[in-house]
Amino acid sequence: MLMLSVYNTLAREKQVFTPIEPGKVRMYVCGMTVYDLCHIGHARMLTAFDVVVRWLRASGYQVDYVRNITDIEDKIINRALELGITPEALVDRTIAEMHEDLGALYLQPPTHEPRATQHVGGMIRLIEGLIANGRAYPAENGDVYYAVREFPGYGKLSRKSLDDLRAGERVGIDPHKRDPLDFVLWKAAKPGEPQWDSPWGPGRPGWHIECSAMSEYHLGSHFDIHGGGEDLQFPHHENEIAQSEGCHNHSYVNYWLHNGFLQLHGEKMSKSLGNFFTIRDVLKHFDGEVVRFLLIRGHYRSPINYSEELMRDAKNGLERLYTALKNVPPVGRAPIDWESDYARRFKTVMDDDFNTPEAIAVLFEMANEVNRTGSAELSAQLKGLAGILGLLQRDAVDFLQAAHGEGGLSAEAIEQMIVARTEARKAKNFAESDRIRDELLKAGVVLEDAAGKTTWRRQ
C-alpha cells in the first residue's frame, strides 16, 4: 500500500506521514498580515498549501485547516494612519479584497480563519504560562519578553545556535532585555494605538505569540502539520515552538512544511524589496486558473520564477489540457478509478511529498491519449484527477473562448466575423473567407472547421 511521505523541515528529511488521530489531520498555515493587497508571492504560498489540503482530503483524511489573519501589527497601524482611516476599517477592506483575489485563483476557504484580535485572551494566558515556567519576564517598561536561553530547544527548526545568533546580532541593545536575543511577547501601549488590558498593563501582543494562541485554540497544543513560507522558519516558527513548547512542556507540531519563494529576476518577490506584482495586477492580463497552473507547475519546496513569458507558457499548457476536454467531452462525473495506470501514477507522485510537477506530467499524458483514442471515459478521469489540483473544472469551450483579461475581440465580434466568413464561403468568395480567417488569427483567434461547423478558440 502506498504511503504519503512529506518533507519535514524539523527532521530535514522525508518522513511517512502518520496523523496523531487516525483518519484526521489538524493543519495550521500562517496567513496574511492584512495591511495591503496580496501579491503573487503570497499566492505562491497560499496555493501550495491549498494543494496540500486538497490531496489530504482526496486521500480520505478529514482535514481541519486553519489559516490565520494577522489584523493587528505595526504595518497595519502605520498604513491606516497614512490613509486617515481606522485600523479596523483598513483590515475589513483588505480582508474582503484578499478573499476576492484568492477566489479568482480557485483556493478553497480554510475550515477556520481566525483573526488575531479575537484571541488576545488566549495570548495572555500563554504568556502567563511562560512566566510561571520561568521562560518569560515582564520588564519595567511594560513589555514582556521571552528568555530564549531558558528554552533548551531553541534553534532546532532553523538549525541556528544561540552563540551563532549572538555573534551575528546587529540590532541595538534594548536595555529592558536580559539578553539581546530575547523577543517581545507583549508590547506596552503607545498613544493612539489599539490596546488591551493585561496583567502587565495595557498593550498589545507581539506577532509571534499570535499563531501559538490561534493554533492552540482551534487545533490543540499538539497537532499534525504547520506550514508557511521558508522565510518564516526563523524567527517566526522558531519562536512559535519556543512559546508553545515552553508553556506546555510537550511537542508542538509533528511535521513542518515550508514552500519555496516565487522569484522575479532571481530575487525573492516581496513588498520590502519593492519587486512584486499584486494578484490583481496579474489578473488584469491572465486568467486566475492560468496563474494557479503556473504556481503549482513547480514543486512547492522549490523556488519558481515569475515572468510574462512563463505566464504565457502556462496559458498555452492549460489550453492544451482544456482542448482535449473540448475535443472529447467527459462522460458525466465518473469517480476516479484509482486502479487505472494513470491514477496510480498520479497517486504515487502526489504521495511523494505532493509532487505536482510529476502529477501534471501525468495529466498531459492523459490528454494526449484522449486526443489519440477519443475516449470519453479517459477524458472524465482526466477532469477528475485535475480537479484534485483545482484545475480543469470549467466548461472547456468557455475557457478556450474567454479573453482571460488580455483584451482583444469580444466573443460577439468573433461570432459575427465567423458568420460573415461562412456567407463568403457559400458565395465562393474564398479570398474574403481567407481574409477574415487571417484577421481573426492576427487577433489571436483560431478557427477550426470540422463536420460542416466552425468553432473557435483564443490562441
How open is the CA angle 412-415-416, to the nearest 5 degrees?
85
Q: Which ranges constitute the DSSP H helices of 198-256? A: 207-219, 238-248
Q: Is 271 annotated as a binding residue?
A: yes
Q: Quote the CA–CA distance of 437 and 433 in Å, as a whole number.
A: 6
Rounded (10°) CA dihedral 221, 35, 299, 293: 130
Residue 240 counted as an annotated binding residue? yes
Q: Are 289 and 314 in contact (CB under 8 A)?
A: no
> All 3 cell numbers of residue 86?
481606522
C-alpha cell at 68: 490565520
Tell me which residue of 392, 376, 374 sits closest to 384, measured CA to CA: 392
DSSP characters over 35-48: SS--BHHHHHHHHH
Question: Do the annotations mark residue 42 as ligand-binding?
Answer: no
3-state SS string over 230-245? HHHHHHHHHHHHHHHH
Between β-strands 144-146 and 136-138, what pairing exists: parallel, antiparallel or unpaired? Answer: antiparallel
Q: State the cell numbers at 175.
A: 536595555
Q: What CA–CA distance (Å, rounded) separates 374 from 40?
A: 37
Distance CA 272, CA 235 (A): 17
Q: How far apart are CA 182 and CA 237, in angstroms?
A: 15
Residue type, 266: G
Helix axes 356-373, 376-388, angle to 10 degrees: 160
Cis peptide before 205 (omega within 30 of 0): no
218 marked ligand binding residue: no
Residue 347 annotated as lining a ligand binding site: no
Cβ-in-10-Å burial (0-12, 13-18, 19+) of 322 comes to buried
Annotated binding site for Zn(2+): 30, 211, 236, 240
Annotated binding site for ATP: 271
Annotated binding site: 30, 211, 236, 240, 271
